[in-house]
Amino acid sequence: MKDLEKALTEKIIGLKANDAPACENEIYPIYFDRTEKDNSKWLALLKEALKTAKTFEIHCWNGEDEWIELALRYGKLKESDWTYGKMIEGNVTPEFSDMLLSMPKPQNIELENKMTPFFNVFLDSEFQSSHYGTEIYVEEKR
């Protein structure tokens, strides 16, 4: 056993990290807290991302039937093993963009200061809106 420990220790000590692959663009987070009185900053980020987005994916919790039905007007149900909700995917169209950009800020903000009624909104790999728009991950082009 001591020989094995010694051999493993030597191997571990000799390890070195691989270089990270070159990343053309960087993703950075933006957080919206209770100081945001409206969703205008969220909408501005969304509007910019929609200019080049080709596809979307929206996640809604089970029970958010109104929002699931709305998303299904623009896409189709995605096969998933997420048992707690539904995922809808589709192509970004002018009608889809207009729908997202015209939505008012949700009023049910007791738990979170929601920017959107959709739990997650993803546009290609460039825009990720999580936790009802309170966490945004945007790809910064270099």
For position 60, what pLDDT does the model report? 97
For position 21, what pLDDT does the model report? 46
Closest among 115, 114, 131, 113 to 60, alpha carbons compared: 131
Mind listing the pLDDT tens digit for each residue in 86-142?
999 999 999 999 999 999 999 988 888 999 999 999 999 789 999 999 999 987 765
AA identity, residue 15: L
Of 12 and 95, more confident: 95
- Give 3-state DSSP helix, strand, coil % of the chain, rounded to 5: 30, 25, 45
Please tell me the pTM assigned to this model: 0.79
- H/E element, 7: helix 2-13
Q: Which residues of 64-86 are buried (b: 16+ CB within 10 A; e: fewer)?
A: beebbebbeebbeeeeeeeeeeb
Contact 88, 72 (CB under 8 A): yes
Of 91 and 12, more confident: 91
Using a CB cutoff of 8 Å and minimum separation of 24, what contacts does 15-18 make? none
Distance CA 109, CA 86 (A): 22
Mind listing the pLDDT tens digit for each residue in 19-31?
544 546 677 898 9
Mind listing the pLDDT tens digit for each residue in 14-73?
655 555 445 466 778 989 888 888 999 999 999 999 999 999 999 999 999 999 999 999
